[in-house]
Amino acid sequence: MSKVAEPVFTISLEKGLADRHRMPIDQVISVLSSVKQMIADAASELQSDEGDGKPLDFGLEISSGLDGNAFRKGSLKAQIVITKNHAKGIRAAQRVLATIHDLSAVKKPPAREYSAEAELVTGRILNRLEKIAAIHEVSRSDAKFSVTVPKAFRVEPGIKKVKAATFSERGLQALYAFREPVFRESGVTIHGKLAELKDKSALEREEGHFWGQLLRENGELWRIQFKNSQTDSVRLLFKEQVEVTGEAHYFQSRTPKLIVKEIARDDERDYVKAFDDLYGLNKALYNAPLEIVLKRRYEPE
Report, as an integer, the average pLDDT of 241-247.
93
For the ranges 13-17, 250-254, 264-268, the lowest mean pLDDT is seen at: 250-254
Query: Is 294 a residue whose pLDDT tops 80?
Result: no
Kind plus residue range of the DSSP H or E element containing 266: none
Distances (CA, A) of 116 to 110, 112, 113, 178, 183: 9, 12, 10, 12, 17
Report, as an integer, the average pLDDT of 46-64.
81
pLDDT: which is higher, 262 or 69: 262
Report, as an integer, the average pLDDT of 14-21.
79
Query: Is 247 a residue whose pLDDT tops 90?
Result: yes
d(CA 173, CA 194): 32
Question: What does the pLDDT read at residue 2?
Answer: 42
> Buried b vs exposed e over 7-30: b needs ≥16 C-beta within 10 Å?
bbbbbbbbbebbbeeebeeebbeb
- Over the chain, what is the mean pLDDT? 78
Give CA angle at 42 (36, 44), nearest 5°: 100
> Buried b vs exposed e over 66-104: b needs ≥16 C-beta within 10 Å?
eeeeebbeebbbbbbbbbeebebbbbbbbbbbbbbbbbb
d(CA 6, CA 155): 13
pLDDT: which is higher, 189 or 41: 189
For the ranges 64-78, 97-111, 192-206, the lowest mean pLDDT is seen at: 64-78
Question: What does the pLDDT read at residue 121?
Answer: 42
Q: Give pTM, 2 decimals.
A: 0.61
Question: What does the pLDDT read at residue 225?
Answer: 92
For the ranges 32-41, 49-58, 165-174, 214-223, the lowest mean pLDDT is seen at: 49-58
Question: What does the pLDDT read at residue 132?
Answer: 87
Report, as an integer, the average pLDDT of 210-214.
90
Residue 112's pLDDT band, with cuts at 50, 70 and 90, is very low
Report, as an integer, the average pLDDT of 180-196.
88
